[in-house]
Structure 1
Amino acid sequence: MNSLINYLSCAALWLGLAVRAPDLLRHRHDPYLRAICAVLGLAGLCFALGAPPTVGAVNRLSGVPNLAAPITYAAITGYCAASQVLVVHWRGGPRVRRTARRWTLAYAVVVLGIALTFALGDAPVERRTDLDTYYATTPFIAQMIVLYLVAHLTAATVTTVSALRWARQVRGGLRAGLTLIGAGSLCGAGYSATKLVAVGARWSGRDWSALGTTVSPAAAGLGALLVVVGVLVPLVTPRVAEWRRAGRAYARLGPLERALDDLLVRRALRLPRPRFASPATLLMWRRTSIHNALGHLDAYCDRDLYDRTRADTLTATGDPALAGAHAWAAVIVDALRHEAGAGEAPPPAAGTGRPLAPSPDPAALARISDVLAGTVRVPAASPAPSGRTTAGTA
């Protein structure tokens, strides 16, 4: 079970690394991105190295009993250093680089201490899951264990406090991500804390090794899951929000496209609908179809009707945007009727010979669609004095 937790945690963290890797390639000199990718990569490596099958493979291939332990501890220490560097860049300030270098140097000393204490100690019996408690009273090996656990607990605690403190100052996806990272770091602190408790119990003659073999891995796995989700949430949230906005805009243009549907079909003006497309792509497709139809209707548009309807609506509502949308809706309905009645005859000169208002922008298209859908109240246009019949509103 421990191996499954380790490998699943590693996969989750490296999946997060794969998601952030393209950003790192585009902005390889960004220290913040480098720190995030280092945290994800090293955390995944820690879980991979800590799995009992990996421990056995490293020990067997090296020929040194328990060599996997200092290698894993060094990876954990590297993760701690990356976490602290990430926190430093989160905080910002004038001394970011200096503080980051100090943390990196401090944990480099810890790595050196791990290597030195392992070389001085004696751990002849291979222990794949309970080395911390088994050798808790062995000279130098015990110091190595305490050194890496204290370093990890320090990093996890600082990361937890910093992430949760910053989360109170921001909103949206960043706040959710920081909260998750803080919770994940708290679980990471639980990992080292429970191992320290188990080691302390061993010093007092008690056997609490189950804390280190069951509770600690579970806390570490949950922490890894929360951290990777927390890192991904700020990245994914803007995209999800963009898709939601595009989806709402796409649905809002539905009444306008349905009003133009007969023309789009008869004149083959609609492009093939894209398959498996994002909401943004579908929105662009719908807007393109609408603009194709409006371009074809340009010769049938009546400028007098547009001006008259706009003036009447502006007088009644005082809203220029609504007046323009109402005028466009009336002109479109009128132009569709005349275009359909013309059949295959060539189109007449555009309207009264004067150019119509500029083609509506995306916001104007949405308002026109609202008028056609009847979701906004607009006054009726005044009757046309000329022989050409005006269009009512939808």
Structure 2
Amino acid sequence: MNLVVYLAATVFGLSCTVLLGRPLTAPRNPLTVSTCAAIVLGALVLVCSAPLTLSTVNRLTGVPNFGAPLTYGMLSAYSCSLLVLLVNWRGGSAARIRRLVLRCMAAYGALIVVIVVLFTLAHADTERLTDLDTYYANTPYMREMIVLYLLGHSAATLVMCTVCVTWGREVDGLLRAGLRLILIGTMLDVVGFQLAKYTAVAARWTGHDLDFLSTGVAPRMASLGALTCSLGFVLPRLLPAARAHWHGLGDLRRLGPLWSEVRFASLAPKPPCTVWQLPRVRLHWREVSIHDGLLALAPYFDDRVRERTRDAALRAGYTAHEARVVAEAAMVADAARRAAAREEPFGTPSTYRLYATEVSGPGGLVELARALARSRLVTAVPEGTVKATPG
């Protein structure tokens, strides 16, 4: 049980690192702060509820079952953070948001105080690490404390479900997918944790024993619900970044032929360690380096090579744009050969601008690289030139 709960808490908490991808600027965003607060508090609830944590807290404080009000107070704080998150998600005027946040904090702050007071008034001298809710279900003050913390958590999660359903009809894409995952995780909490706890406690009130719902089903369902919610929190932020890096990796590979052609001419400083850098970072450096290499080769650009190759491409059935890119690839390849052979550059440099330098992003460079790698016209022998196949 300890391992399952601690693992769920770790995964739940680590999802904050995705949201805090920019630690210096993220805290300025109330939505990011409230989301991370909810995730961290949810992870702390799981940690505090583990039997190993409970026994350690009880031993350190010298108070039997001291971990109970600690866990229940943390759960109430987590419930409050969910409502604060919803307030920031829905948005509105700053005054309205501040007013609603303060109301939530006041209500759940009072609930935490009541939980502590009820525990102090109760007689709970027998340490219970896994079945405290059912063991003390009929004990004065402990009974009220148990019901109050469950009701406080239920109120927050039911509001969470309502908002996810309502808002999910208004949005689409990844945000809707994230809301659905949060809804599923919250429903797992409602049905698997809260309903199990209510049923087990009510069974004790009527003289029956359904403790397995509280000790076996509820903790596992709470962990599963927390993991599902954490996935819903980070999905709208994580998946676009993952897609960008995946596309960046593909563009990095497709730029290989062009980079092989111009790398000797590039003077761009190499980053300290490219092996462990993310694909988007490596792609940016590769773009900068290729542009630097093309700039260094510009004095060797031969417009005659470009024009002859363009005319040949048009006769071969290429579109105007395809013919332009193929012609530019032939001109770059010819310039790279001249520069590598240490020939003298042209006295009057070409003023022609490559298509890859006119568009933003790696798309233009990728087209140029593809033309270098695939077009037979690039490796053809224009008049007065000798061109070897790029290696």
Structure number with bigger Rg? 1
* Residues 315-363 of structure 1, C-alpha deviations (whole Å, 9 max, x = no match): 99896643431221232244345556xx45x41425xx35231253243
**Which residue of 350, 357, 360 corresponds with 2:352?**
357
Contact 1:330 1:393 in 2 (8 A): no
> Cα offset for 1:120?
3.0
Structure 2 unaligned regions, length at least 5: none
> Cα offset for 1:47?
1.7
2:90 maps to amino acid: R
* Residues 150-176 of structure 1, C-alpha deviations (whole Å, 9 max, x = no match): 111221222233234434544444333
Contact 2:258 2:369 in 1 (8 A): yes
**C-alpha distance in 2, partners of 1:264/1:118?**
72
**C-alpha distance in 2, partners of 1:97/1:22?**
26
2:245 maps to amino acid: W
2:158 maps to amino acid: T
Match in the other structure for 1:287: 287
1:111/1:288 CA distance change after superposition, 3 Å? closer
**C-alpha distance in 2, partners of 1:158/1:244?**
37
Task: Give the secondary structure class of the aligned counterpart of 2:114.
Answer: helix
Match in the other structure for 1:42: 41
Task: Give the secondary structure class of the aligned counterpart of 1:328.
Answer: helix
**C-alpha distance in 1, partners of 2:335/2:120?**
88
Match in the other structure for 2:374: 374
Range 46-55 or range 315-324, more displaced: 315-324
Match in the other structure for 1:224: 226
Task: Give the secondary structure class of the aligned counterpart of 1:358.
Answer: coil
> Cα offset for 1:124?
2.6
1:54/1:379 CA distance change after superposition, 3 Å? closer
RMSD: 3.4
Taking structure 2 as the reference length, the TM-score comes to 0.83
> Cα offset for 1:83?
0.6
Range 99-108 or range 70-79, more displaced: 99-108
> Cα offset for 1:48?
1.9
Match in the other structure for 1:301: 301
Taking structure 1 as the reference length, the TM-score comes to 0.82
Structure 1 unaligned regions, length at least 5: none
* Residues 27-85 of structure 1, C-alpha deviations (whole Å, 9 max, x = no match): 33432122112212211221222122222232333333322212211111010000111
> Cα offset for 1:271?
7.5
**C-alpha distance in 2, partners of 1:250/1:22?**
23
Equivalence map 1:1-394=2 (5 Å): 1=1, 3-21=2-20, 23=22, 25-94=24-93, 95-189=96-190, 190-258=192-260, 260=261, 264=263, 274-291=274-291, 293-307=293-307, 309-310=309-310, 321-336=321-336, 338=338, 343-344=341-342, 346-350=343-347, 353-359=348-354, 360-361=356-357, 362-374=362-374, 388-389=384-385
Task: Give the secondary structure class of the aligned counterpart of 1:277.
Answer: coil
1:106 maps to amino acid: A
1:132/1:25 CA distance change after superposition, 3 Å? farther
> Cα offset for 1:89?
1.5
1:131/1:311 CA distance change after superposition, 3 Å? same
Aligned positions, number: 380
**C-alpha distance in 2, partners of 1:392/1:61?**
77
> Cα offset for 1:143?
1.1
> Cα offset for 1:18?
4.6
> Cα offset for 1:247?
1.6
1:123/1:333 CA distance change after superposition, 3 Å? closer
* Residues 370-390 of structure 1, C-alpha deviations (whole Å, 9 max, x = no match): 323337x99999x98xx7359
* Residues 233-276 of structure 1, C-alpha deviations (whole Å, 9 max, x = no match): 23322221221221222222233334x2xx756x7979779323
Contact 1:24 1:33 in 2 (8 A): no
Identity between Structure 1 and Structure 2 (%): 36
